[in-house]
Structure 1
Amino acid sequence: MINSRVFFFADYQGSRQNAPAPVLASVAPEAWRRGDLSSVTATITDPLTGLAFPGNQIPVERISAPARGLVNDVANYPLPNRTVPGGVLNNFVGDTLLAIRAHQGDVRLDWSQSTNNKFFGRYSFARYEDRRDEQPFPLFLTARNDQPFDNVGFNWNRVFGSSIINEFLVGYSRTTVITETLDWAGVGDANALYGIAGGQPIAGLSQIQWGSSLTLPGAIATDSETLAKTYQLNEKLTWIRGRHGVKLGGQFLRYNQRRFYAGNNGRLGFLTHTGAFTGFAFSDFLLDQVAGKGRGGGDPDDPWTHLQNRISLFAQDDFKVRQNLTLNLGLRWAFTSPLVEKNNRQSNFDLTSGQQIFAEDGGLEDRALYRRTTTAGSHASGSLGAPATASSSAAAMASPSLWRAPARTSACR
């Protein structure tokens, strides 16, 4: 408190947590890495001849270069360090480290400049992040979740004489949710290191799906980022005159919603080995017999962005007819604009012609593929008695409806 006119408030809360723990994994035994699968009960078949490999042993020279590079890189894909029944399941023990960081706080300043002018400003923030800074072995990739939030507001109350009060508010909020794959050990471009074709947009290794009770190295990397920004303006004027309490005002909201998603196949993708070619998934991997593969797409620097405005105006009169009867009269108009994509990357379907319609520059109907319709309605209610009140109101609204009812709406072309 300063001179009974300025009030200041601030708070902060934070926490830092590191949670190490041992964790079990299953890695390929040394014999498997050189093609000796004699410990496997399934018959290992040569996909070139259809005949079984003698003794379930694949000649070393038949092992593909990418497979040989990965399984021989014991610095990033280590050998078993535990003796277990069967020699495979949970044959490796390593460490994991979960790091959690949380911070939040608020600052507010109130200023009574005079009896007629009062101001306040406020800022709030929150930061939350959790990440795995360590896993059992380097090719066991991790992820980071980050959720920052910011909100700011400014308010001005102005008194005009004894009967008029005006209130003006400006606000802004920003919320982000990020999921990101981490190359925590600094392996780098492992696909290129081992000779896996196709390149990669981020560091790490495409997930190697090889079954056989083994822990899967690499990651699909279904990264995503969602950013929602809201801009807000509020205006309200109150006028007291005789038996009337009149309120006039409006609100403007601007939404900017940004979204990136790498797709279910992720930024690094996957290579699947099922045993369909040799009778055992790991031997399919050794011989480069891939049953399926995939990789997502998208550019986090060029996300899909939806834009929308919401505008509303209102007028209200609280009319005190007599001591035990007050009429609440009101009118509200609201408009919600159809969603448009910043770069027109959305489409719809015309069920009549079967054609796909793409958004293009122009008006709302061109960009959002909507036609606007207007609906109006009214509602009145009332009751008599002391101290009950009677009220009535009327409302009109402009709202969007589908241009053509779609069978499917696509977010991106």
Structure 2
Amino acid sequence: MTKPFCLTLIAVSMCTGVAFAQNETAVLTGRVVDPSGLGVAAAQIRLTDQATGAVRNSVSLTDGEYRFDLLPPGDYSVRVTAPGFKTVEDSGVHLEVAKAASLDISLSIGAVTESVEVHAEVSPLVAASVAEGTVVSEEKVKALPLNGRQFLQLALLSPGTNGGGIAVQQNALRQGETGGLSVAGQRTNDSAYLLDGVMNTDPDYNALTYVPVVDAIAEFQVQVAQYSAEFGRASGGQINVLTKSGSNQWHGAAWDFLRNNILDARPFNLTTSPDVPEFRRNQFGGLLGGPILKNKLFAFFTYEGLRVRQAAANLTTVGVPDKLQRSGDFSEEIATTVIYDPSIALVNGTRTPFPGNVIPSTRINPLASAAMNALPLPNLPGNFFIDTTDVLRQTNDNTSARVDYNMSDKLRLFTRYSGATEDASIPATVPDRAGLDNAVPRNVAVGFSQIPSANKVNDLRLGFSRLNFLYGLPEPQFSVGGATTALPNFIVGQLNFGGAGPYNATGPGGIAQARDNVYQAWDIFAWQLGRHSLKLGGEFDAFQYVRFEYADPLGSLTFTQGYTNATAAAPKATDHSGDAFATRCLRSISAPRPRLSPSSRRASRASTVRRCLSAAGTGTRRHAPTPIGRISVRAPAWRGR
């Protein structure tokens, strides 16, 4: 069956929507002039990558203008020669990720064999694009302190960017999920994350998929507005990250960041133990990069591991029933909370309270009593409990390997594989109820650049991104059955206690698993036609989202204070009557959803696929950038099965 599609021509003034080829490359333009400021025609401009020795050549036009498109960001040297002029060499040209810069070069009269060397550390480049954004350089990435070595913290240096809190509750302990970025006033999940020009965004949550090691980042840019035609898809920011590649010299590094409870103070709310809870945190790793074949083949490898062991990681104080309340005796609360008998008819709209605020033992439901006894006893004054026995264990391993190959001056290839395994055991508010939180992100990029001539460049990019994650609570949770109950094999996954103060729920029980895949291919062609520059390209994306989970596989029990409230109406904060613990002692269970055996459990599976085809084009003229518009062909919607 033929799928519908739409063909949209977007006007020049419209700069948002689906786009192609989120390119991380840079552009260098400028003029070659003589001492009087007139343009020098037919000057030979030679641009050399200082790290790898890769060379690009260009020839100035009649007015002295020149242009280099699709340049890998980095440090370059420029050599300019022209008959009748001295040779000029400038070794301080730095091009930033996804930015266009302009460099004018002035030649002096003399022989070609004479040379003028510019020894400035960084040559004065002029921004040549209207895109708004901030580049975070390698120096800032290295020098600025980072808690947890999360590079997104540095994105807050960009104007118009702020931390929007946790974007999603997908994986709270994942480095990539410690917070989202709100850019230009948009929601945290309206940003796009790019790694070496390919998507690094989870299509399910629009969150960061793979978090690169800080020491593997060459630089990154946060683009806020006025994107060029090849950017789009997100109404917020574009976080464009470039990883390091090998160079003609071998470099290596090693590190270990350590935290230890020996240097910590005791938490103020931990009064049950005189000792500081155990805390060990090691974040260690290393990198190695250099030439395999000088000026030809380069490799760069990074590894970082994280090991965390933290006792009393969840110091949450929760309310629990004491021994008297578990037997139905609420006499100590009679001054503040009165327990009413729901079985006696209303008199003038009010129920009759239990004598002495004590529920008779014959009225206590054995199943509800078993559920109550599954909770821990108070260990703090005021019938509160704090668990200091659970231990947070976290084990992360992050690896990235990149290979760059200069096949010739006209053909270049790079490939990169990045992946991580993130395993965590998350403490709960009650003992022995720790949850699982595991994630396996992957990101792969392959790039092929071809330079047919000095005024033509083609860049092809293939990308693959995957996020597998597994989270939830192990089962069984609470065995509340027994020989004295009507359901001897009853196991419940979740207990909800409405109106019971801060103690609300124990978790759903069961495991949820998801796998999100992104397949991407794009090609972009840049062609300089005199004073005009044309850039055309297209992109194909396929997004796949598969989710497999149990929806409350072991069921849940919910108790509210309304059953023992003074009236049958919904309880109010000013009633001072009714108690969820007392409700548990009686025969009332609200919203029961039991599963009696593993064979009765039902799992849900969702699979969604979206394919997107897009194309774009941009035309610019020296000193007057004029976008020619954008054409997009898009799949209409997600398809599920």
Short-chain TM bin: 0.5 to 0.7
Q: Does 1:155 align with 2:439?
A: no
Residue 284 of structure 1: aligned partner: 583
Residue 220 of structure 2: aligned partner: none
Residue 338 of structure 1: aligned partner: 636
Residue 346 of structure 1: aligned partner: none
Paired residues, number: 322
Q: Indicate conservation of the 8 Å contact 1:273/1:292, yes or no.
A: no
Q: How far does residue 11 in structure 1 lie from its aligned partner after superposition?
A: 0.9
- C-alpha change, 1:244 and 1:300, in structure 2 (3 Å) is farther
Q: Indicate conservation of the 8 Å contact 1:205/1:217, yes or no.
A: no
Where does structure 2 lack aligned partners over 5 or more consecutive residues?
Answer: 1-290, 346-351, 566-577, 596-600
Q: Indicate conservation of the 8 Å contact 1:24/1:94, yes or no.
A: no
Q: Deviations over 1:329-349 (max 9, x none)?
A: 746421121113222xxxxxx
- C-alpha change, 1:236 and 1:214, in structure 2 (3 Å) is closer
- C-alpha change, 1:78 and 1:130, in structure 2 (3 Å) is same
Residue 394 of structure 1: aligned partner: none
- C-alpha change, 1:47 and 1:123, in structure 2 (3 Å) is same
Q: Does 1:257 align with 2:545?
A: yes
Q: Deviations over 1:272-309 (max 9, x none)?
A: 2214346433222111223455699x976512x33222
Residue 377 of structure 1: aligned partner: none
- Once residues 486 and 403 of structure 2 are traced to their aligned partners in structure 1, the CA distance between those partners, rounded to angstroms, is 58
Which residue identity is paired with 1:65?
P
RMSD: 4.1
Where does structure 1 lack aligned partners over 5 or more consecutive residues?
Answer: 344-413
- Once residues 494 and 636 of structure 2 are traced to their aligned partners in structure 1, the CA distance between those partners, rounded to angstroms, is 39
- Once residues 196 and 235 of structure 1 are traced to their aligned partners in structure 2, the CA distance between those partners, rounded to angstroms, is 67
- Once residues 112 and 299 of structure 1 are traced to their aligned partners in structure 2, the CA distance between those partners, rounded to angstroms, is 55
Residue 386 of structure 1: aligned partner: none
Residue 236 of structure 1: aligned partner: 524
Question: Matched residue of 1:66: which SS?
Answer: helix
- C-alpha change, 1:291 and 1:168, in structure 2 (3 Å) is closer
- C-alpha change, 1:91 and 1:110, in structure 2 (3 Å) is closer
Deviates more, 1:268-277 or 1:236-245: 236-245
- Once residues 526 and 462 of structure 2 are traced to their aligned partners in structure 1, the CA distance between those partners, rounded to angstroms, is 18
Q: Does 1:63 align with 2:352?
A: no
- Once residues 387 and 449 of structure 2 are traced to their aligned partners in structure 1, the CA distance between those partners, rounded to angstroms, is 64
Question: Matched residue of 1:2: which SS?
Answer: strand
Residue 104 of structure 1: aligned partner: 398
Which residue identity is paired with 1:32?
Q
Q: Indicate conservation of the 8 Å contact 2:387/2:429, yes or no.
A: no
Q: Deviations over 1:372-405 (max 9, x none)?
A: xxxxxxxxxxxxxxxxxxxxxxxxxxxxxxxxxx
1:310-389 to 2 correspondences below 5 Å: 310-314=612-616, 330=628, 332-343=630-641
Residue 320 of structure 2: aligned partner: 27
Q: Indicate conservation of the 8 Å contact 1:19/1:99, yes or no.
A: yes
- C-alpha change, 1:333 and 1:52, in structure 2 (3 Å) is closer
- C-alpha change, 1:111 and 1:78, in structure 2 (3 Å) is same
Q: Does 1:125 align with 2:419?
A: yes
Q: How far does residue 182 in structure 1 lie from its aligned partner after superposition?
A: 4.0
Q: Does 1:302 align with 2:605?
A: yes
Which residue identity is paired with 1:3?
L
Residue 273 of structure 1: aligned partner: 560
Q: Does 1:17 align with 2:308?
A: yes
- Once residues 333 and 216 of structure 1 are traced to their aligned partners in structure 2, the CA distance between those partners, rounded to angstroms, is 52
Q: Deviations over 1:15-47 (max 9, x none)?
A: 212221266444322222223333230444443
Q: Indicate conservation of the 8 Å contact 2:517/2:544, yes or no.
A: yes
- C-alpha change, 1:292 and 1:110, in structure 2 (3 Å) is same
- C-alpha change, 1:299 and 1:331, in structure 2 (3 Å) is farther
- C-alpha change, 1:25 and 1:111, in structure 2 (3 Å) is same
In the alignment, which of 154, 162, 166 is matched to residue 458 of structure 2? 166
Q: Does 1:175 align with 2:476?
A: no
Identity %: 21
Q: How far does residue 144 in structure 1 lie from its aligned partner after superposition?
A: 3.8
Q: How far does residue 134 in structure 1 lie from its aligned partner after superposition?
A: 5.9
- Once residues 450 and 386 of structure 2 are traced to their aligned partners in structure 1, the CA distance between those partners, rounded to angstroms, is 70
Residue 95 of structure 1: aligned partner: 389
Question: Matched residue of 1:77: which SS?
Answer: coil
Q: Does 1:48 align with 2:347?
A: no
- C-alpha change, 1:253 and 1:56, in structure 2 (3 Å) is same
Deviates more, 1:285-294 or 1:107-116: 285-294
- C-alpha change, 1:208 and 1:190, in structure 2 (3 Å) is farther
Q: Deviations over 1:70-94 (max 9, x none)?
A: 345xxx5344445x3xxx4226664
Q: Indicate conservation of the 8 Å contact 1:191/1:205, yes or no.
A: no
- Once residues 213 and 329 of structure 1 are traced to their aligned partners in structure 2, the CA distance between those partners, rounded to angstroms, is 60
Question: Matched residue of 1:302: which SS?
Answer: strand
- C-alpha change, 1:53 and 1:110, in structure 2 (3 Å) is same
Q: How far does residue 235 in structure 1 lie from its aligned partner after superposition?
A: 1.8
TM-score by length of 2: 0.43
Which residue identity is paired with 1:173?
S
Which residue identity is paired with 2:614?
S
